[in-house]
Amino acid sequence: MTLTPTPTTTRGHDAGQPDFRDRVNTVEASAYRARHHALNMGEVQGQGYVGQALGSADMFAAVYTDQLRYRPEDPHWNGRDRFLLSTGHYAIGHYAALAEAGIIPVDELDTYGSDESRLPMSGMASYTPGMEISGGSLGHGLGVAVGMALGLRFQQSPSRVFNFLSDGELDEGSTWEAAMGAHHHQLGNLTALVDMNALQADGATKTVLGIEPAADKWASFGWHTQRVNGNDAAALLSALDTIAREAGPTGRPSVILCDTKVGKGVPLLEEREKAHFMRIEEHEWQICRDQLTEGHTKGSQA
Ligand SMILES: Cc1ncc(C[n+]2csc(CCOP(=O)(O)OP(=O)(O)O)c2C)c(N)n1
Ligand SMILES: [Mg+2]
């Protein structure tokens, strides 16, 4: 299936303020295409972190289509905002967003996870344009983001830093050291987005190591904290708008805790029990695509 990415040139929260409903539509359309990209990539390997990609597609789309400043033809442009993927295994979702952003070609997604591909199954900065860090060792992304945000401020850069984390990373002490550091240095140019999908490799997050009340924890670490339905484009944009109004070189760092549904948009996968690393049978991929398309068509008509 050929899916055309949204044309991208200059974008960002200061690139003009189109009508809010238009912005929501843009996010939803991009997330829908990204979900198809993720299914197509998953099919190449027959398995993978497809549930996470489907669950977090709205988060990626909200940031990439609406907030991030970047130049698709020049991913290393010094004036870009930085998007750091802590959770290397979410690379499949990030590649879908990078294709949507025009940073990597949509056709290249077919090489996902193959030998010699620029798109390895775990995100690696040295391989992929637009991938700022290699994030497979969980719990380190926020620390790198803090250093980057501090460095950008020293350079008097207006660029912002976004860090995508998983709820499993909230079980790691290094994340909280970084959170403390961000508040200490008053990194108003730093935004963390956490995929609160309630899932980890060993089962439900609440059974591995409880992290609730997560919002209270971030707030007590001095962060501007919001918790939203991470599959609701309007809620994501409102939260991001609130932050963008206040974002600056100094001030409180911000976090958005995003409650998402693993496998979102594909009922067959939303119901899977072993959801962290899904094995999907050959005949099921088309069923997944059909369910995704059907749900989207129904949603558009509602
Ligand atoms: C430091 C570190 N410890 C353990 C792992 C092994 N690991 C890979 S994914 C994962 C689950 C982490 O939770 P989360 O990212 O919330 O899982 P998901 O929502 O993707 O199921 C673990 C423990 C790792 N990659 N890095
Ligand atoms: Mg999780």
Q: Is the CB of 226 under 6 A from ligand 1?
A: no
pLDDT tens-digit map of 171-181: 999 999 999 99
pLDDT tens-digit map of 232-291: 999 999 999 999 988 788 899 999 999 999 999 999 999 998 899 999 999 999 999 999
pLDDT tens-digit map of 66-109: 999 999 999 999 999 999 999 999 999 999 999 999 999 999 99
**Is 220 part of a structural domain of the chain?**
yes
Sign of CA dihedral 68, 218, 135, 190: positive
Over 90: is that where the pLDDT of 143 sits?
yes
**Is 167 part of a structural domain of the chain?**
yes
- Contact call for residues 153 and 122 (beta carbons, < 8 A): no
Cα distance between residue 35 and residue 97, in whole Å = 9
**Is 76 part of a structural domain of the chain?**
yes
**Is 1 part of a structural domain of the chain?**
no
With b meaning 16 or more CB within 10 Å and e meaning fewer, what string describes 182-219? Answer: bbebbbbbbbbbbbbbbbbeeeebeeeeebeebeebbe
As for how many domains the chain has, the answer is: 1
The residues with which 47 forms a beta bridge, in sequence order, are 279
CA of 7 to the centre of ligand 2 (A): 31
**Is 261 part of a structural domain of the chain?**
yes
Domain range for 38 is 15-301
Q: Mutate which of 89, 94, 121 to test ligand 1's pocket (most atoms within 8 Å of Cβ)?
A: 89
Q: Is the CB of 139 under 6 A from ligand 1?
A: yes
**Is 4 part of a structural domain of the chain?**
no
Over 60: is that where the pLDDT of 63 sits?
yes
Mean pLDDT confidence for 1-30: 67
CA of 168 to the centre of ligand 1 (A): 6
**Is 251 part of a structural domain of the chain?**
yes
Q: Angle CA(289)–CA(42)–CA(36) in degrees, nearest 5?
A: 35
**Is 77 part of a structural domain of the chain?**
yes
Question: Tell me, what CATH number does 39's domain have?
Answer: 3.40.50.970
Residue 252 φ/ψ, nearest 5 degrees: -75, 140
- Contact call for residues 264 and 92 (beta carbons, < 8 A): no
